[in-house]
Every structure is written in C-alpha cells, then in structure tokens.
C-alpha cells in the first residue's frame, strides 16, 4: 500500500505493534499499521535523556579543572624540556613528550590494585608510529595537546591499553594525523572523560575485545567526545558488554560518528553529527554485526536519547542482525543517502518520543537475502518532510504510526 501526501495527511487510526525479541524465519508480515496522523515537531536543541553531560567527572566526583587534585606522578614542560617526577624522584628529563609521559606512568607503584594518577602539563608531539601504553589501575589527565606527526602502521595510538582493568583518561586533546586517537582492547572498567580529537586522518576512539573475542570488554564509560576530520569512524566499539556514553559530537568524520558493533547493554545520551560519512553508506549513528543481540534474542538493551544528523551519508543505520534498540528522539536532515536505513534488524523502535526527518534521504526498511527479514521495527512520532517511508521486502510485525507527512509518501506492506 502506498499513501501519497503533499501536505499533512488526514488522521488515521493507529494500532499497537507486536513486541518481540527474537529473529524470525522468512515470512510475510501479519501485523501492520500505516497510520500517518500526528503533530510531532522537530527536536533540534532538546537535551539528551541521559542528563547533563560534564557536571560530574570521570570518577563520579564533581568535575575539576584539568590537573587539579592529587596525583602520583606528573610530566611537566618548561621551555623545551620535559621533566617527569614521582614525588621527589625525577624519572625523566628531555625533549620527548611521549618519553616523559611513559616515564611518569612507569614510575607508578608496581602491582598496584587501585588507581594511581598521572598529570601531564604542557603540549607536544609524538610520532604516529608510537604510542603511550597504560597498564591497569592508571588514570591519565593530559592538560595540553598531543600533536601526532609522521606515519605508522598497526594499532598505534596516542593512548593504548590492552588486557587491562580500571584505566581512565580524564582529559585529552589530540591533533595531527594519528592512526588511532585512543585504542583499548580487552579491558574492564574503562573510563574516558573529556576527549577532544581534531585530526586529519585515522580513527578517533576504538574500544574492542579482539585480542580474545571469547571475553567481552566490560563496563565502559565515555563522558564527552568531540571528534572531527578522521578518515574512519569517530567512535567505534566492538564486543562490549556495558557501555555508557554521554555525548559524541562528530564533525566531518570519514565514516560513522558513533558505530556500535556486537555491543550489548548500552546507553547513549546524544549523537550530534554533521558530515559523518559523506559519500559513503555510513551514518551519524550505526549499529552492526549483531549489535544488541543477547544469546539468540533481542531484548531491549540499547537505548539512545537523541540522534542529530546533518548531511553526511546516513542519519541512522541498523544492519546485519542488530537490534534490541530504542532511539528516543531524532533530528535528521539533508543526508546524502537514506535518512534512516533499517536492514535485517529486530526489535527496533525509532523516535519513541518524537522527532523529524527532512529529505532528500528516505526512511527505508530493507533486507539482504542472507539474513532473516526485519522483525518488530517501529517508526513513529516523526514529522517527515520531502522524504518517504518505504518498506521492501516485507518484514514481520512492522509498525509505522503517528507520523506527520509533509510532501512525503509511505509505501509499506
């Protein structure tokens, strides 16, 4: 059935959708609604449902200025000389910011079972072919900018941690051309505070479990990230259980602003992206590779307060047997491809509380043949302008309701 609207559509009765949590076998839908009544308005400027970001610090305390409070070691720049100290001990003197930071970290108590803190005071540079490695029970607070120069390969990063627990990066600013800004592999209790990444290539932040995929990286918190200019994703996760994100602000990232892969039990406050994935199929916010799948089912376990997208590739993209997600509010306009694409996803609700989509990109429900078709996808409470809501092929239990159409059409099964 196709409904064409050149102005606001007339009211139509809305029906409740069928809730479900498991991926179905291929079958035609038996529960469907295409009601298009509603008065939902756009959501620009609405505060994230996760609350105000940045009032509390990364350790749950009142946020202090960078470098304030007690610390165990520090690396300080004076003129062109870096000096690293731990108490009365000087552990490094020289011109290398990276060597000073690593020496300060290395001076912390061996075998510790609680966090010790390193403060870095000053700005400097490091090679893209190097990294600052953080061991377990380490907090890092960088009060300055790290500029990355030259070239490198592999998983080199400004900050790198692998097989660790209780690692915290409280403040960090990165410029230049890194391979990764922050790279964490197989960790537990990972906290990132105020992170600012303005670069010309690379991937901003990647946190995964790819050292040992049988063990998920657990309990990750990211307070506030600003990322621009990456050639890859702004922030990417893979194989996490337990993720809390305050705000990801992405500007002109080569790929997605925030990408969640195979990540469960996640809460995201706000994704605010402009120019994310321009000319690609990536999106301001993307879920892929069975994201949200717990065992063989898709209970609601991924919750997003708001997605704002301007330009770029897509606004929201759910793909490859992902689901178990509720996105509360959306504000999407002028994307180069689909505003929203849901492809082989299960138990997904978009715009639970409302929002707006402005074309030319459409809202598309689709499926690849190698996976079961969409199931229990709800698109609701949207003001849709110069766009369309299209479903092909038919999914199971699709609900499209309470949407206001302005010069837009619906074509669903």
274 occurs within a structural domain:
yes
User: Would residue 77 count as lying in a domain?
Assistant: no
The domain tally of the chain equals: 1
Per-residue pLDDT of the chain (413 residues; tens, 9 = 90+): 333 333 344 333 333 333 334 444 333 333 344 444 333 333 333 333 333 333 334 444 467 899 999 999 999 999 999 999 999 999 999 999 999 999 999 999 999 999 999 999 999 999 999 999 999 999 999 999 999 999 999 999 999 999 999 999 999 999 999 999 999 999 999 999 999 999 999 999 999 999 999 999 999 999 999 999 999 999 999 999 999 999 999 999 999 999 999 999 999 999 999 999 999 999 999 999 999 999 999 999 999 999 999 999 999 999 999 999 999 999 999 999 999 999 999 999 999 999 999 999 999 999 999 999 999 999 999 999 999 999 999 999 999 999 999 999 999 99
Q: Are 304 and 268 in contact (CB under 8 A)?
A: yes
103/85 Cα distance (integer angstroms): 8
Give the DSSP letter string of 149-179.
Answer: ES---SS-EEEEEEEEEEEEEEEEEEEE--S
CB-side neighbour CA atoms (13 Å) of 248? 34
Provide DSSP, 109-161. PTT-SS-EEEEEES-EEEETT--EE--SSEEEEEEEEEEEES---SS-EEEEE
Does residue 179 belong to any structural domain of this protein?
A: yes
Two structure tokens written together for 16: 């409740």
Q: Assess if residue 206 is contained within a domain.
A: yes
What does the CA dihedral 318, 321, 327, 333 come to, rounded to 10 degrees?
A: 10
In a domain, 301, yes or no: yes
- Rounded to 5 degrees, φ, ψ at 99 are -65, -40
- DSSP label at residue 275: S
- Whether 357 is covered by a domain: the verdict is yes
- Look at residues 281, 316, 282, 293 and name the one whose alpha carbon lies nearest to residue 372: 293
Examine residue 310 and state whether it is found in any structural domain, yes or no. Answer: yes
- In sequence order, the 6+-apart residues with CB closer than 8 A to the CB of 298 are 21, 22, 23, 292, 323, 324, 346, 347
* Position 151 in a domain: yes
Nearest to 400 by CA among 12, 2, 17, 20: 17
The answer for residues whose C-beta is within 8 angstroms of residue 290's C-beta and 6 or more apart is 262, 320, 321, 322
Q: Which CATH number covers residue 178? A: 2.160.20
Task: Give the domain extent around 139.
Answer: 2-46+113-411
Measure Cα distances from 189 to 177, 216, 398 in Å.
28, 12, 38
């Amino acid at each position: 059935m196709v409904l064409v609207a050149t102005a606001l559509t007339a009211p139509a009765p809305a029906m409740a959708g069928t809730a479900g949590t498991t991926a179905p076998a291929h079958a035609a839908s038996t529960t469907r609604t295409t009601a298009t009544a509603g008065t939902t308005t756009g959501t620009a400027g609405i505060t994230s449902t996760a609350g105000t970001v940045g009032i509390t610090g990364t350790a749950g305390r009142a946020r202090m200025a960078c470098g304030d409070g007690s610390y165990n070691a520090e690396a300080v720049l004076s003129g062109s000389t870096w000096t690293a100290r731990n108490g009365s001990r000087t552990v490094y003197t020289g011109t290398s910011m990276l060597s000073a930071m690593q020496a300060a970290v290395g001076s912390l108590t061996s075998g510790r079972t609680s966090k010790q803190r390193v403060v870095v005071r000053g700005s400097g540079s490091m090679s893209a072919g190097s990294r600052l490695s953080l061991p377990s029970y380490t907090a890092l607070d960088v009060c300055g900018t790290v500029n990355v120069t030259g070239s490198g390969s592999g998983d080199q990063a400004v900050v790198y941690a692998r097989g660790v627990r209780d690692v915290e990066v409280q403040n960090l600013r990165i410029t230049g051309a890194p391979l990764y800004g922050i790279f964490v592999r197989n960790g537990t209790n990972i906290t990132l505070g105020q992170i600012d990444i303005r670069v010309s290539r690379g991937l901003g932040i990647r946190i995964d479990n790819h050292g040992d995929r049988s063990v998920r990286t657990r309990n990750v918190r990211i307070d506030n990230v600003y990322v621009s200019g990456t050639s890859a994703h702004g922030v990417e996760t893979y194989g996490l259980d337990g993720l809390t994100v305050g705000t990801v602000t992405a500007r002109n990232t080569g790929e997605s602003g925030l990408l969640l892969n195979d990540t469960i039990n996640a809460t995201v406050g706000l994704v605010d992206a402009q120019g994310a994935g321009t000319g690609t199929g990536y999106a301001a916010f993307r879920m892929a590779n069975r994201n949200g799948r717990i065992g063989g089912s898709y209970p609601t376990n991924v919750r997003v307060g708001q997605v704002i997208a301007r330009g770029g590739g897509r606004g929201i993209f759910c793909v490859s047997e992902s689901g178990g997600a509720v996105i509360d509010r959306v504000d999407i306009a002028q994307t180069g491809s689909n505003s929203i694409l849901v492809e082989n996803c299960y138990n997904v609700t978009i715009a639970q509380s409302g929002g707006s989509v402005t074309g030319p990109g459409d809202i598309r429900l689709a499926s690849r043949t190698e996976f079961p078709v969409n199931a229990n996808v709800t698109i609701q409470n949207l003001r849709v302008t110069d766009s369309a809501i299209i479903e092909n092929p038919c999914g199971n239990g699709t609900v499209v309701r309470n949407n206001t159409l302005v010069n837009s059409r619906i074509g669903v099964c």
